[in-house]
Amino acid sequence: MKPSRKICSVAEKALKHSLAYKRYVKKMTGTVPKKVSSATFFKLPVTSKESFIKKYAADDLLQDESAGAVTYVSSGSSGKPSVWFRDEQTLAEGAALHRYIIEKIYGIKPNEPTLVLITFSMGLWVAGLFTADAVRELRKDGFNITVATPGIDRKDGLIAYKNSVHLFRHVVIAGYPPYVMDFLRELKTTDTEMHRSLFLLTAGDKFSEEWRDEAAKLIGKPTSYERIISLYGSADAGSMAFETPATIRLRRKARTDKALYSKLFGKDEKQGGIYQYLPDSLYIEESGEELLITKHMPIPLVRYNIHDTGSVFAPGALAVIEKRSKKAVWDRLPAVTISGRTDVAVTLYALNIYPDQIASGIPHGVSTGSYFAYTRKRKGAYSEELIIDVELKEKVRATKEMEVKIATKITEKLLTVSSEFKQLYDRIGSAAVPRIRLKKRGTVSTETRFEKKALLQISGKKPRLVISS
């Protein structure tokens, strides 16, 4: 699938307006083209956060003298925030993506009063801020939308919900899957009536189809799976793609159809997500196992390695895979499967926790250095917990005091280096603290129940990801 003229112009503008990108292309290829066609596009060098963005000053990276309309941050493994920018074009493209979901998938008409309740983290973090601005932008297109931004504070969310939903024909709850589930369960346990036309919009972490089943039951629409849509995005690129009824049907069917599963996800043991995207604002290509994206942003993202793994499908391919003759509006869109990431981290409530953050809290004198870190649902609930199995040296006796000490040190490290974790800790308190399980030498094993992906560190080797089956 070739890039469109609009995508090629994204590269041309970056070459013209970003001094850093111009220098990078000259360094990598020896020349700086003035025009980029669908044929010459692939001669442009691959970029990444490590090879490009971290190598240049922000004022050289930016495409204009101003930094853009909005700035936001993300925390990496070191805890030093990465600063990202958004301008009017990225806002308009974000609004177009959300309009597609609201109008074409949810079926909400512009004149129908709709409340969008945002339970993503607010402040400097991209998901909440970007969603609020993009949805609010739709008012300029005549949509009768009201935005409430309680963030991850459940009490504020309940106040906003209980005191305003009766004024609206539709309600959209947007947030990270664990928060959304917690919020829905809180509505249920407090005997709060579910709105008759409720929709869910999630991002930050993939959920299972069993999660979708449970959420659909809680909102009173047990078979209306298209009311629950997951977004694919990142801090550096913002919102990029979204589920559609076609991707949901295929993902659900693939659970029991091995041939279909192989066609969509290849040999990946963990079922990924399937999304579709607007091709005039995003181009995705495969490079080995990884995906490269091209998308307009104030800091250029041209053939940018986002370190996600997956496959790209041309427009109409999903209808062919489904063997469906009746066409739908989303058949005009390309699709992408997202299987995982090639960088190493375990996730808790959609935030990344890295190997060095865990290792820093494990005493060398008592541990072999091997551990297994993973998340899973708490018993009887859909909230998550982080569990770390730590392997002890021979003749070291496991004690409760040692478990508490390790958990405390890891928590202190995370509070120091990750502002996202600090916000999570402020929100859920001790539920964010990892649960430590001390294991005898040679007994740290991946043969345990866990959600999504896990981190396995064997002493003397590099940490690696383990994917749940």
Domain spans in the chain, listed from the N-terminal domain onward? 70-343, 351-467
The pLDDT-based confidence of 316 (bands split at 50, 70, 90) is very high
More confident residue, 48 or 152: 48
Q: Does residue 272 register a pLDDT over 90?
A: no
Which whole number is the average pLDDT over 188-202? 93
Dist CA 273 CA 242 (whole Å): 10
The pLDDT-based confidence of 469 (bands split at 50, 70, 90) is very low
- Is 421 within 8 Å of 335 (Cβ atoms)? no
Annotate 212-279 with DSSP letters as a single string.
HHHHHHHTT-TT-GGGEEEEEEETTTEEEEE--HHHHHHHHHTTT-HHHHHHHHTT-SS--EEEE--T
**How far apart, in Å, are the Cα atoms of 24 and each of 12, 41, 44, 50, 314?**
14, 15, 10, 13, 30
Strand partners, 273: 338
Which whole number is the average pLDDT over 188-193? 89
Q: In the predicted model, what is the mean pLDDT of the chain?
A: 88
Each residue's pLDDT tens digit, 233-268: 988 898 999 999 999 999 999 989 989 998 998 876
Dist CA 379 CA 177 (whole Å): 17
Q: Does residue 55 register a pLDDT over 90?
A: yes
Lowest mean pLDDT among 30-39, 63-72, 123-132: 63-72
CB atoms within 10 A of CB 282: 23
More confident residue, 465 or 124: 124
At position 159, the amino acid (one-letter code) is I
Dist CA 67 CA 59 (whole Å): 8
- CA-only gyration radius of the chain, Å: 23
For residue 343, the model assigns a pLDDT of 60
Q: Does residue 219 register a pLDDT over 80?
A: yes
For residue 361, the model assigns a pLDDT of 86
Cα angle for residues 454, 458, 460 (degrees, 5° grid): 140
Which whole number is the average pLDDT over 222-228? 94
Q: Does residue 393 register a pLDDT over 90?
A: no
For residue 78, the model assigns a pLDDT of 47
For residue 292, the model assigns a pLDDT of 97
Give the percent of the chain with pLDDT over 70. Answer: 90
**Level-2 CATH architecture, domain 351-467:** 2-Layer Sandwich (3.30)
Looking from the CA of 77 toward its CB, the CA atoms found within 13 Å total 12
Q: Hey, do 70-343 and 351-467 end up sharing a CATH topology, with the first three levels equal? A: no
The pLDDT-based confidence of 124 (bands split at 50, 70, 90) is confident
**How far apart, in Å, are the Cα atoms of 323 and each of 226, 369, 376?**
20, 51, 36
How do 170-175 and 114-118 pair as beta strands? parallel
Each residue's pLDDT tens digit, 18-34: 999 999 999 999 999 99
For residue 449, the model assigns a pLDDT of 56
For residue 273, the model assigns a pLDDT of 92
* Alpha helices (runs of H) in 369-418, residue ranges in sequence order: 400-417
Phi, psi of 330 (to 5 degrees): -80, -5
Dist CA 47 CA 37 (whole Å): 18
For residue 77, the model assigns a pLDDT of 46
Which whole number is the average pLDDT over 409-417? 89
Each residue's pLDDT tens digit, 358-372: 888 888 778 888 888
Which whole number is the average pLDDT over 2-12? 96
Closest CA to 68 of 46, 92, 50, 47: 92
Indicate the pTM of the whole model.
Answer: 0.80
Give the percent of the chain with pLDDT over 90. Answer: 58
Closest CA to 147 of 117, 103, 102: 117
DSSP secondary structure code for residue 324 in this structure:
-
For residue 169, the model assigns a pLDDT of 98
Strand partners, 383: none
At position 98, the amino acid (one-letter code) is H
**How far apart, in Å, are the Cα atoms of 375 and each of 147, 178, 350, 357, 413?**
32, 12, 11, 16, 18
Phi, psi of 179 (to 5 degrees): -65, -45
Each residue's pLDDT tens digit, 59-107: 899 997 666 667 877 655 445 667 888 899 999 999 999 999 999 999 9
Phi, psi of 466 (to 5 degrees): -120, 130
Closest CA to 266 of 288, 283, 246, 248: 288
What topology is assigned to 70-343 in CATH?
A: Rossmann fold (3.40.50)
Burial status of residue 50 (CB atoms within 10 A of its CB: 0-12, 13-18, 19 or more): exposed
- Is 267 within 8 Å of 328 (Cβ atoms)? no
DSSP secondary structure code for residue 102 in this structure:
I
Q: Where are the beta strands (DSSP E) in 333-404?
A: 335-341, 346-348, 351-353, 367-377, 384-392
Residues sharing a CB contact under 8 Å with residue 87, sequence separation 6 or more, in sequence order: 64, 68, 69, 297, 298
Q: Does residue 148 register a pLDDT over 70?
A: yes
For residue 79, the model assigns a pLDDT of 52
